[in-house]
Amino acid sequence: MQNTILITGGSGFIGSNFILQWIASERTPVVNLDKLTYAGNPRNLQRVSSDTRYCFMQGDICDRDLVHSILERHKPRAVVHFAAESHVDRSIRGPDDFIRTNVNGTFCLLEEARAYWMALARQDRELFRFLHVSTDEVYGSLDPHDPPFCETTRYAPNSPYSASKAAADHLVRAYFHTYDVPTLTTNCSNNYGPYQFPEKLIPLIILNARKGKSLPLYGDGQNVRDWLYVEDHCEAVRMVLARGRIGETYNIGGWNEKRNVEVVDTICSILDDLCGNDPVLPHRTLISFVKDRPGHDRRYAMDACKIEHELSWKPRETFESGIRKTINWYLQNEAWVNEVTAGNYRQWIATHYS
């Protein structure tokens, strides 16, 4: 077994940030297996594309022959599983891809990882890890005064997306308890930061505000989310991979509960200061309340005490510092923005918010 790790979905938002951080911090080889669906972008990893420690493989995690060949060829010491269909709105319009990738894909990975792990020498088997990256949405919705989600909160997914991730979580748990596969699971709160595909709230608001377009907010805008800067999330995943207890789940949260309308208002205020020549000022006059999403969860909040106590991890960024970094990144990377917002993205936004 080599000192390589296999990342699935490494060309997406969180996966690409993780690879960039891994190569900068850990300095060991990474194999990135990514299907390159609409949200997977090779340009996210342009900085490391010529690095000898980085290897890209285009393919589907449901292709067991391909997964088998990658494991046999590269002999990774860990699989870090980011690959997923992840947008709730898309799961409502078309759940098929979510079941295929998030449920069947996770099953295929687990089966191939189990076979690979069982064939390793004893000392290598003890070192191997399968880390599954999941979401707080598997826990359902909180009332305003409920305590935050903890690792023992009952699962209550409310969308096709969250149901598919809950199923994947249960499969990972089952492979640990049934087959002793050394698994780890992380459930994170809402991520934001560089390279996020602009169908999600924060980049959508930044880009629409700059162009003087409507800033759509579901319902009354009072839905609450816990916000986690993506680099903090990646650091937490690295710590869980290095020191997490086998078979355990770790919640990763930012301790930053914000109402959606607060998030949008904060972005607008910062853009007012930074972009005084935009077509519509102040930017908050562009806010438009649209029909609520079906089954829209009211509040998410994460109790991250377990990872803080066991692994000494805490987020470095407050929401205020992280959102400024994020806005500045989008302002400074217009070529990336223009590329990802062409074609199919525009059609999706026009259809969905009509």
Give me the pLDDT at residue 339, please.
87
- Cα separation, 210 vs 286, in Å, equals 10
Give me the pLDDT at residue 268, please.
98
| Active-site pick, 34, 112, 137, 232 | 137
Tokens of 232: 């903090």
| Active-site pick, 60, 112, 136, 257 | 136
Tokens of 219: 């319902």
Tokens of 155: 């699962």
Give me the pLDDT at residue 344, please.
58
Whether residue 137 lies in the annotated active site: yes
Run means of pLDDT, 10 residues per run, the chain, 354 residues? 95 97 96 91 94 97 98 98 88 90 98 98 97 98 96 96 97 98 98 94 97 96 97 98 98 97 98 97 97 92 98 97 98 92 58 52
Question: For domain 5-196+228-256+296-317, which CATH number applies: 3.40.50.720, 1.10.620.20, 3.10.510.20, 1.10.287.90?
Answer: 3.40.50.720
Give me the pLDDT at residue 14, please.
98
Contacts of 346 (CB under 8 A, 6+ apart): none
Whether residue 136 lies in the annotated active site: yes
* Residue 8, beta-bridge partner list: 33, 81
DSSP 45: G
Domain residue spans of the chain? 5-196+228-256+296-317
Contacts of 308 (CB under 8 A, 6+ apart): 314
Q: Sort strands 224-229 and 257-259 into parallel, antiparallel or unpaired.
A: antiparallel
| Active-site pick, 54, 116, 139, 161 | 161
Give me the pLDDT at residue 347, please.
57
The 3-state DSSP class for residue 242 equals helix
- Cα separation, 339 vs 138, in Å, equals 32
Give me the pLDDT at residue 349, please.
47
